Structure 1
């Protein structure tokens, strides 16, 4: 685990951010102690809210990209942060982990998976090479066992995109038939086409739907 940076090495505003997050955690702890609804919530009962807030954040990003106004994204990121802190506080009550452990864990992961910044790897790399380094570090963390199964509840386009990506990385042949009578096969072929063009199929569809007005 990387050492915690000294105060003088932290980016400007880091201490203020620490204070704001600590205050928010204290608020959530009090709400868990004094608010009946908050007391009743569990990791599982909060799942639907996490999904809802994630999609509302995606919508705010689309709106901000189109309008140049990002205040809505700031609000939605706060709602998303609420879900993270809520889960961490529930876990803390059960003695599983707390928010500090969550933060330290993701900090250590980012350092491990970005050796071109924090390690000895060559710093002047393009995005594809950086992604390869990330995947190599991820595989090493898992003992070379390869990636785990994809979450079954991923949106279908994202699920298809990630499945094709894994097969390509494994050197497996990907056969998709754009002229198939099966609609699913043709949709999969469109995902493959998007990958070949360097386009995120999920975002492309969202943008197309938005253009409908």
Structure 2
């Protein structure tokens, strides 16, 4: 009963939003001027804002940013309707048809999926047939950030069975690539200039680490972003302490820098510990 009530509430809210979008496109000068091209940069911004909200695990912000993205999606479909390209219902029904087709273990008799790996394999197999592609790696957007693209490549390749069998094998590949990078750097006479071989070996190290992350259930993009935020907090803490001590970062020795860094790390760790509810 709770699910049915929630569905009815969702349908009512969705209908209300569609009516508001109709008002915006017919009565608001700014909304009337928007096109798919003009909305695109704002949609990208909203997507990154949602990403930050998810990383911070702030459910209030997540709810707000999801709403903003939903607005953009419905504006796109409204513009498409006005251009006689497709309607909102056609877009939604096309999605429903695709989801049903790509989940045969749910919607087709005698089809089964034992685990998430089976589901992923079925999804990629059906998608390959739908798109008429010759490679499972076709269709990955070229504009994806390198880290996201690497994760997508690894996911698709593993769904086809191209994957290490154990975590130990994956980690062994990481160590192998690190050793090759070390050897290349050691033997190079052009460390201070662009060296394509070193660049290639570093890329292999990063790629192997992304593969290994799957075996330890870590999202490498999330892990890197958390590391970025942690570095920013610690660095800013160092800057504040240097200001109090009337010192400039550029004048410090490496030993002094390390000492300030460790001090900042300890301070932030203490603050975080105090914030943990007892």
Quick check: TM above 0.5?
Answer: yes
For 1:55-98, what per-residue CA distance to the aligned partner results, in whole angstroms no more than 9, with x for missing partners?
1111111222xxxx512211111001011011011001001112
- TM-score normalised by L of structure 2: 0.64
Q: Is the 8 A contact 1:88 1:99 kept in 2?
A: yes
Q: Distance in 2 between matches of 1:190 and 1:29?
A: 48
The aligned residue for residue 28 of structure 1 is: 21
Between the two structures, name the one with larger relative contact order (CA 8 Å, sep ≥ 6): 1
**Alignment counterpart, residue 118 of structure 1, candidates 83, 107, 125:** 107
* Mapped partners of 2:83, 2:123: distance in 1: 33
**Structure 2 vs 1, CA of residues 15 and 146 (structure 1 numbering), >3 Å: closer, same or farther?**
farther
The residue matched to 1:153 in structure 2 has which SS? coil
1:15 is the counterpart of 2:8: yes
Match of 1:55 in 2: 48
Within a 5 Å distance, the mapping from 1:1-213 to structure 2 comes to: 11-64=4-57, 69-123=58-112, 125-143=114-132, 145-147=134-136, 148-167=138-157, 177-178=177-178, 179-180=180-181, 181-182=198-199, 183-212=202-231, 213=233
Q: How many residues align?
A: 201
2:77, 2:88 within 8 Å by CA — same for their partners in 1? yes
Larger Rg: 2
Q: What CA distance in whole angstroms lies between the structure 2 residues aligned with 1:17 and 1:186?
A: 46
Q: Offset at 1:144?
A: 5.5
More helix by share: 2
The answer as to whether partners of 1:88 and 1:98 remain within 8 angstroms in 2 is yes
Let me know the Cα RMSD of the aligned residues: 2.7
Tell me, which stretches of 5 or more residues in structure 2 are unaligned? 165-172, 182-197, 234-278
